[in-house]
């Protein structure tokens, strides 16, 4: 497979969607432990890119793995930061031509956004014994 046939989304997901969302994130109020947790979440997402061979791998990640990572992040970090990061990642991707011209990718992003709302709802309804009380 030549470099020209690789969908740019494979490398733009991390370089554009994720890194841009992180740069726009206000993490100034996070504790050292929370910053470490945030870096861990970012690393998990960045490392996933190593396994992507085509756009279907990215779609699979967005559809299945990213919502799971979102749920894990809710357990470790204030929900406002988690929501901001993950929503910005997916909305940044919507800016890309590679996403807007591929209904399968766009559908995966919209489904992931909806799935994250359901995960958040279950999280808020869940155990009150977690470290962080969700913000209103």
User: What tens digit of pLDDT does each residue of 1-54 get?
Assistant: 444 467 888 999 999 999 999 999 999 999 999 999 999 999 999 999 999 999
Domains of the chain, by residue range, sit at 9-23+31-127
Question: So what's the pLDDT on residue 7?
Answer: 84
Residues in the chain: 136
Question: So what's the pLDDT on residue 126?
Answer: 83
Is the per-residue pLDDT at 55 higher than 80?
Answer: yes
- What is the 3 state secondary structure string of the chain? CCHHHCCCHHHHHHHHHHHHHHHHCCCCCCCHHHHHHHHHHHHHHHHHHHHCCCHHHHHHHHHHHHHHHHHHHHHHCCHHHHHHHHHHHHHHHCCCHHHHCCHHHHHHHHHHHHHHHHHHHHHHHCCCCCCCCCCC
Summarize the confidence of residues 86-109 as an average pLDDT: 95
Question: So what's the pLDDT on residue 135?
Answer: 55
Question: So what's the pLDDT on residue 127?
Answer: 59
Share of residues in the chain with pLDDT > 90 (%)? 82
**Cα 85 from Cα 79, distance rounded (Å):** 10
Is the per-residue pLDDT at 129 higher than 80?
Answer: no
Max CA pair span of the chain: 52
At which residue do the structure tokens 């085509």 appear? Answer: 54
**Cα 93 from Cα 87, distance rounded (Å):** 10
Nearest to 108 by CA among 71, 46, 66: 66
Is the per-residue pLDDT at 114 higher than 80?
Answer: yes
Question: So what's the pLDDT on residue 132?
Answer: 56
């Amino acid at each position: 497979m030549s470099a020209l046939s690789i969908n740019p989304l494979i490398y733009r997901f991390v370089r554009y969607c994720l890194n841009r969302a992180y740069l726009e994130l206000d993490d100034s109020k996070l504790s050292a432990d929370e910053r470490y947790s945030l870096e861990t979440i970012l690393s998990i997402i960045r490392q996933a890119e190593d396994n992507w061979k085509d756009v279907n791998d990215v779609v699979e990640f967005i559809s299945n793995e990213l919502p799971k990572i979102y749920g894990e992040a809710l357990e470790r970090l204030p929900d406002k930061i988690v929501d901001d990061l993950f929503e910005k990642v997916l909305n940044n991707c919507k800016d890309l031509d590679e996403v807007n011209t591929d209904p399968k990718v766009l559908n995966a992003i919209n489904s992931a956004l909806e799935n994250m709302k359901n995960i958040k709802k279950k999280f808020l309804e869940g155990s009150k014994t977690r470290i962080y009380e969700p913000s209103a």
